A and B are shown apart, each in its own frame.
Chain A
């Protein structure tokens, strides 16, 4: 009788002991080096000696195209299968956002750490300060996906378990991004409140990729479900309150001169005005070129392509048939038959003409090789 009782007692004690032990997730094989986070050799709970967290740049993969194309995430549950995660595609999109470290945070050295090295596999754990693996992954995905799919339906990413059984590894495609044709900014300028930005013209003509302009933006900014559905050609944006004038002009001022306010601040400006050709291309348009349509020179269809700054590239065989008086100076007889390069050393006719090729004591513009006339009025 006593034996039975003692066996029973032993069972109860051991059962309760098992129940007490919580499975604690240990770091996997590729465990972090303790010193990655702790500055002391033997950190304790009370004195963890934590280093500033090293949110360093990813060194594991250098280019997004080197990233693994598809990763299978998660283990199949009762209802839903794992997720075929289009990793490379996301990496591409991440360029407009936080980059690789947007997801691979705290990662500091190759190879990239696995999530489960830090995030416990079991929800019953001691360190409640960071989410468990399942939650960490869901939060990463949901953060963006929720923005354009607020229902948060599991089947957006997970395949239904029955379907998953015969899944062919198909990857859910990203939602389409429809760029607007133009964006009208309602600014807080005193005059000419609205500034129209020709988004489509910019991306088409200058062959811009999203990431060329959009950096550090949330996914939802473009993958906005409502906007995609409505696919509005014209968006209206309000300039954020509290922006300094400099901040407000920052983006445009990369390409445009911003000294003439009215160029932009007048509802619908002409599409060309304000583009600082010289600043962006190094080829300042002279007054003749400035009057031309862009397509007169940039003839190739599609985005504007850079063309040679050499005059001959457009003005074929013009030399010898040029009336210098058009430039505002009628050459005298001694200079009339000289080659252009004799004075204009650079092919672009931008630099100051030189006299030293022939004359030691003459300089431009103190001495002129002819008679100044009104520009553009050739005297024949």
Chain B
């Protein structure tokens, strides 16, 4: 009985170890995409140029088949009286911030998904429903998502929104970088609609160059900071402003990718399944010796 137990114990342990290690390569392939192409696209938002016409809001809603009143109604400035955030009815919103230099002309800032280069949502998503595309877009896949909202917990910019009002098939709503429009050769809806081109669309590397040049040529117009150039490891959407970004309700973020700590913990715990398998082996050994000892005691008694 004892020897049989011991043999089956060993056999089972080997089988489990094999199964566990066998899983490793599958896991490595199974994760969501996070491709960083040097040609990836982005948008440079120059808040010093933005006039707060909110045409981008209208264009975005129109492009994404969301309900919107006609464009003329957007001349109304009352929405600026309170801070708004993107939600399931609007993937982008423009907020106004009082400007100390020009009280009559507030600084207006468009907010939407930043399309991070190392997105926390992509790292966090339990089923890998969010992925970083080669062209820079961070996209959400409706066929995979289970609606757990961990992406919303993870996002450092607090962007993904959830359709709380829907009982069935609620979606995670966020800017999709107008991927459909772009495959048709069009520009993102907001970029196309901006009358003053406060939103410049192009290859991210080029945009960084353009932004640096803008700052160099008009140092009195800009703070020497391109938000998104380095924040959370870089974002596809970047911002220029005439004052520190903290005053424009941007969170202060480090340059380390947002999922960094979490991923290194995860990979530490699951380093090729060595730690769990070792723990398994250790516990097995403890169990075996303690049972041995108990059995011996029983024999002696």
Do A and B touch, yes or no (CB under 8 Å, in the complex)? yes
Residues of chain A whose beta carbon lies under 8 Å from any beta carbon of chain B: 18-19, 79, 123-124, 128-129, 131-132, 134-135, 138-139, 142, 146-147, 150-155, 224-226
In chain B, positions 229-264 with a C-beta closer than 8 Å to chain A are none
- Bound together, the chains give a CA A174 to CA B130 distance in angstroms of 52
Q: How many A-B residue pairs have CB under 8 A?
A: 59
Q: Are B207 and A128 in touch, CB under 8 angstroms?
A: yes
Q: Are A123 and B196 in touch, CB under 8 angstroms?
A: no
10 chain-A/chain-B pairs, Cβ below 8 angstroms = A19-B185, A128-B207, A131-B197, A132-B197, A135-B195, A147-B105, A150-B77, A150-B104, A151-B77, A152-B51
Which residues of B sit under 8 angstroms from A134, Cβ to Cβ? 195, 197
- Bound together, the chains give a CA A152 to CA B96 distance in angstroms of 14
- Bound together, the chains give a CA A123 to CA B213 distance in angstroms of 19
Q: Are B195 and A138 in touch, CB under 8 angstroms?
A: yes
The 7 closest A-B pairs by CB, nearest first: A135-B197, A153-B75, A138-B195, A131-B197, A128-B202, A138-B196, A152-B51
Q: Are B75 and A154 in touch, CB under 8 angstroms?
A: yes
Smallest beta-carbon distance B80→chain A, Å: 10
Say yes or no: is B200 at the interface (Cβ < 8 Å to chain A). yes
Which residues of B sit under 8 angstroms from A154, Cβ to Cβ? 53, 75, 195
Residue of B nearest to A158 (CB): B195
- Bound together, the chains give a CA A123 to CA B191 distance in angstroms of 9
Q: Are B196 and A135 in touch, CB under 8 angstroms?
A: yes
Q: Are A139 and B196 in touch, CB under 8 angstroms?
A: yes
Smallest beta-carbon distance A214→chain B, Å: 20
Of B187, B194, B195, B210, the residue contacting A128 (CB under 8 A) is: B210
Smallest beta-carbon distance B26→chain A, Å: 32
Smallest beta-carbon distance A134→chain B, Å: 7
Say yes or no: is B71 at the interface (Cβ < 8 Å to chain A). yes
Given contacts A134-B197, A135-B197, 14 further A-B contacts (CB under 8 A): A18-B185, A79-B71, A124-B201, A128-B44, A128-B200, A128-B202, A132-B197, A146-B51, A146-B105, A150-B104, A151-B75, A154-B53, A154-B195, A225-B104
- Bound together, the chains give a CA A134 to CA B197 distance in angstroms of 8
- Bound together, the chains give a CA A146 to CA B83 distance in angstroms of 22
Smallest beta-carbon distance B46→chain A, Å: 10
Say yes or no: is B192 at the interface (Cβ < 8 Å to chain A). yes
Which residues of A sit under 8 angstroms from B75, Cβ to Cβ? 151-155
Which of A135, A142, A224 is packed against the most chain B CB atoms within 10 Å? A135
Say yes or no: is B86 at the interface (Cβ < 8 Å to chain A). no
Say yes or no: is B72 at the interface (Cβ < 8 Å to chain A). yes
Q: Are A123 and B210 in touch, CB under 8 angstroms?
A: no
Smallest beta-carbon distance B98→chain A, Å: 12
Which of B52, B53, B191 is packed against the most chain A CB atoms within 10 Å? B53
- Bound together, the chains give a CA A357 to CA B210 distance in angstroms of 80
Which residues of B sit under 8 angstroms from A138, Cβ to Cβ? 195-196
Also in contact, A129 and B213, with CB within 8 A (given A124-B187, A150-B104): yes
In chain B, positions 186-211 with a C-beta closer than 8 Å to chain A are 187, 191-192, 194-197, 200-202, 206-207, 210
Smallest beta-carbon distance A58→chain B, Å: 22
Which residues of A sit under 8 angstroms from B105, Cβ to Cβ? 146-147, 150
- Bound together, the chains give a CA A138 to CA B53 distance in angstroms of 12
- Bound together, the chains give a CA A2 to CA B124 distance in angstroms of 45
Smallest beta-carbon distance A361→chain B, Å: 72
Smallest beta-carbon distance B213→chain A, Å: 6
Which residues of B sit under 8 angstroms from A151, Cβ to Cβ? 75, 77
Say yes or no: is B49 at the interface (Cβ < 8 Å to chain A). yes
Smallest beta-carbon distance A123→chain B, Å: 6
Which residues of B sit under 8 angstroms from A146, Cβ to Cβ? 51, 105
Residue of B nearest to A23 (CB): B185
Q: Are B197 and A123 in touch, CB under 8 angstroms?
A: yes
Q: Are B53 and A123 in touch, CB under 8 angstroms?
A: no
Which residues of A sit under 8 angstroms from B104, Cβ to Cβ? 147, 150, 224-226
Which residues of A sit under 8 angstroms from B207, Cβ to Cβ? 128
Which residues of A sit under 8 angstroms from B51, Cβ to Cβ? 142, 146, 152
Which residues of A sit under 8 angstroms from B71, Cβ to Cβ? 79
Smallest beta-carbon distance A102→chain B, Å: 16
Which residues of A sit under 8 angstroms from B187, Cβ to Cβ? 123-124
Of B44, B53, B194, the residue contacting A135 (CB under 8 A) is: B194
In chain B, positions 42-59 with a C-beta closer than 8 Å to chain A are 44, 49, 51-53
Which of B44, B51, B72 is packed against the most chain A CB atoms within 10 Å? B51
Smallest beta-carbon distance B190→chain A, Å: 12
Residue of B nearest to A21 (CB): B185
Smallest beta-carbon distance A352→chain B, Å: 57
- Bound together, the chains give a CA A225 to CA B197 distance in angstroms of 25
Which residues of A sit under 8 angstroms from B210, Cβ to Cβ? 128-129
Also in contact, A152 and B192, with CB within 8 A (given A79-B71, A146-B105): no
Which residues of A sit under 8 angstroms from B185, Cβ to Cβ? 18-19
Residue of A nearest to B183 (CB): A19
- Bound together, the chains give a CA A355 to CA B80 distance in angstroms of 84
Encoded as 1 (CB less than 8 Å from any A CB) or 0, chain B from 282 to 298 comes to 00000000000000000
Which of A128, A146, A153, A225 is packed against the most chain B CB atoms within 10 Å? A128
Which of A146, A150, A152, A154 is packed against the most chain B CB atoms within 10 Å? A152
Q: Are B196 and A142 in touch, CB under 8 angstroms?
A: yes
- Bound together, the chains give a CA A131 to CA B207 distance in angstroms of 13
- Bound together, the chains give a CA A128 to CA B51 distance in angstroms of 20
Which residues of B sit under 8 angstroms from A139, Cβ to Cβ? 49, 196-197
- Bound together, the chains give a CA A224 to CA B44 distance in angstroms of 31
Smallest beta-carbon distance B73→chain A, Å: 11
